[in-house]
Amino acid sequence: MGDCNRFLYPKHPYHGQFQPDYLVFNANLQEFAQRVGYVSGLTTGGKLTTAESYQQLQSLWQQFEQITEQLGIGDLPPSS
């Protein structure tokens, strides 16, 4: 089962500046990208309609945005 999980859910090492928030963001970004790929594949294969695909992608994006906001990633530093 380990090989199957590595194939279906690949994880790539983080190469950026180490900060816990950045590491969590990277993991969430990888999961988001993977799910987008699955939804796209299901749509292309005719298993999802474009409307269903759009709803799922919109939901995934909202979840990703919420996590990003909670981490404070992308916030501009205060002006001095």
Residue 57 CA to its chain's centroid (Å): 11
List, in order, residues 6 or more apart from 25 with CB less than 8 Å away: 67, 68, 71, 73
How far apart, in Å, are the Cα atoms of 11 and each of 26, 30, 40, 44, 47?
10, 7, 19, 24, 26
Q: What is the pLDDT of residues 7-25, one digit of tens each?
A: 666 667 777 778 888 888 8
**CB neighbours of residue 49 within 10 Å:** 11
**If pLDDT is split at 50, 70 and 90, which confidence band does 66 have?**
very high
Q: What is the pLDDT of residue 77?
A: 57
Query: If we measure between CA atoms, which residue out of 76, 77, 65 comes closest to residue 29?
Result: 65
Higher pLDDT, 47 or 6: 47
Q: What is the pLDDT of residue 80?
A: 46
